[in-house]
Structure 1
Amino acid sequence: MPGEQVPDGGRWFEDFVVGERFTSAPRPVTADDLAAFTRLSGDDHPLHAGPDAMLQGPFGVAVAMGLMQSLGIHGEAVQGLLDTHWAYRAPIRVGDVLTLELTIVRARRTRGGTRGVVTRFMRLLGDDGVVRQEGTTAALVAARTEGPDPAGRAFGTVDWARAVVGTLGPGFAETLATWDGTIGLRCDDDEVHLRVYRGQVIDCSPRAPHGATFTLGADAATWLELVEAGDNPFMRMAMAGRFTATGDGYEYLRLTSALHQLVDAARGIA
């Protein structure tokens, strides 16, 4: 798999590439697992006993973390876990065989420049292909250098926005020839504002003086899916609620064509 190795087999921040995917070896769930986790957690609810017992929800999180470590991509450069956002989709039972699918969905450097935050989207699947649990978890990882980093998949950042704007065709200016306002683009906690005047983007900044006319936002996994799809699925994803729009809803709907062109440019640089 791509990425230079640090001496202990793990990676530095720069070695993580947004869009990389990994799959673990299968991991059977046994009756001993259920007994041990019940003992460890103290959760002896009746749901976790009997012939149809379900493993405790946090058991899946623990297994996912262990399977992630078994991939060999996280070593001494990892300095700590920052957050975990997790959903429980289906029960885990004794006899299931679990596999972890992991995708790097975000990699952004901290302000100090010597470290970065790497966000992993993880799915824990049974041998029947059904997702048991899924979610994201972010880790703080030491960097080898202080950058700069590729901007093509740094969704929601100023560098990314400038790269997107730099590849816009003349159609964008024609579409917004009479429009004056600010378009916000958000990915998780990162948001960038594109100040537009008569079809030209005159500024890209973390915040516009008077805020955005409207802001289009989604999580990192959704942005990644958008730029990696075979065609431009923006309208389908927006209608399915995968993107949110805050601010002036009328202007958001009126600028659908311009947003489609922005997405095309984002797909191009990715």
Structure 2
Amino acid sequence: MPGTTRYFEDFRLGECVHSPEFTLTVDDLTDFARLSGDRHPMHLPSADGLQDGPIAHGPLGLARYFGTVHESGALRDSVIALLDTNWRYLAPLRVGQRLHYRTTVTRTRRASAGDRGVVNRWIELRTSGDQTLQQGSSAVLVKAHGVANADADPVANTPFSPRWARALATLLEKDELFSSTTELFDGGIGLASENDEVVLRVYRGAIIEAAGRTPAGPDFTLRGAEHSWAGLLTGPENDLIVRVHRGEFWAVGDTYTYLRLTAALQAIVDNLRVMHRAGATA
């Protein structure tokens, strides 16, 4: 049965939702071929010479996602518009596979009008054995419960905003590890996702500015995708170093300074995780 409609304020960074499992059928491929006009033999039940039978159209996986969201009822009465979709095809979809979608909220951002907001999502199409076949991001504009100023929303939901940076700076003021590992540093530390960046201006162990930009810019910037940051900040542990080795995060700029301040970055992440657990506001 469809669930309760969710509005902008109901979403939290890092929350993860699994859809019910479903099985791809021959009828799914035939119907999609008829609708799309793509009747390539590899997509049809009569496909010859293909191991494990016909291969589903790649976009079928994405189209089915939006149908699954509609069936859930989560956005049925609150959705205003789909804003973008970036999608990757990692492995073929085949008839008989048991599949489900995993959706992670990677950011929320209230619109200036105050009565709606953008929810960014990271989506994975997985098999019952948790192999990821397709993945990508999609942003949707949804109604809010009421009209409010963005400053009333949890600061933890809006990473890489100046407000988020200032809340982090307040926590770091009391962090002895951060102070001791930056006591000889005079410069800027950048934190960034695909599209947004904040800079912490540090002078001898103290943050003297936290903003979207600073005049001198950062000495280096720690970059990662939105979904990687969401996992790092809301997962079970601070596994920054593991994620760096996996290529989820990387440094741009002065790499020597980046390596010298590894412990300070760990302290930054620890405090961000505290902020996100607490759902802090600022």
| TM-score (normalised: structure 1) | 0.90
1:43 corresponds to which of 38, 42, 53 = 38
Q: Find out whether 1:26 has 2:28 as its counterpart.
A: no
Secondary structure of the structure 2 residue equivalent to 1:232: coil
CA contact (8 A) 1:9 1:75 kept: no
Give the counterpart of 1:198 among 201, 204, 210: 204
CA distance in 2 between partners of 1:229 and 1:128 (Å): 21
Partners of 1:228 and 1:261 in 2: CA distance: 15
Deviation at 1:77, TM superposition (A): 2.3
Mapped pair 1:10 → 2:5: yes
What is the aligned-residue identity percentage?
40
Note the 1:129-168 alignment, pairs <5 A. Answer: 129-143=130-144, 144-147=146-149, 148-168=152-172
Per-residue deviation, residues 209-255 of structure 1 (Å, max 9, x unmatched): 12221111112211121123333211111122111211222211121
Unaligned 5+ runs, structure 1: 1-7
AA aligned to 2:119 is V
The corresponding residue for 2:279 is none
Paired amino acid for 2:24: V
1:68 maps onto 2:66 in alignment: no
The corresponding residue for 1:3 is none
Find out whether 1:99 has 2:100 as its counterpart.
Answer: yes
Q: Which is further off, 59-68 or 91-100?
A: 91-100
* Count of aligned positions: 263
Which deviates more from structure 2 when the two are superposed, residues 234-243 or residues 126-135? 126-135
Pairs within 5 Å for 1:160-179: 160-168=164-172, 169-179=175-185
* Selected match of 2:191 from 185, 190, 197: 185
Letter paired with 2:96: G
Match of 2:214 in 1: 208
Decide whether aligned partners of structure 1 residues 33 and 237 sit closer, same or farther in structure 2, where only a CA change above 3 A counts. same
Unaligned runs of at least 5 residues, structure 2: 277-282
Q: 1:111 Cα deviation (Å)? A: 3.6
Separation in 2, partners of 1:214, 1:94: 48
Counterpart-to-counterpart distance in 1, 2:105 and 2:97: 26
> In the alignment, residue 29 of structure 1 is paired with which amino acid?
L
Structure 1 residue 20 displacement after superposition: 2.1
Superposed displacement of residue 256, structure 1: 0.9
Q: Distance in 1 between matches of 2:158 and 2:81?
A: 21
Residues 186 and 203, structure 2, Cα contact 8 Å, conserved in 1: yes
Question: For the structure 1 residues 98 and 230, does the alpha-carbon distance in structure 2 shift closer, same or farther, using more than 3 Å as the test?
Answer: closer
Contact 1:161 1:204 in 2 (8 A): yes
- Pairwise CA RMSD: 1.8
Correspondence 1:256 to 2:262: yes
Cα pair 1:114 1:145 within 8 Å, conserved:
yes
Show the counterpart of 2:223. 217
Aligned with 1:152: secondary structure? helix
4+ runs deviating over 6 angstroms: none
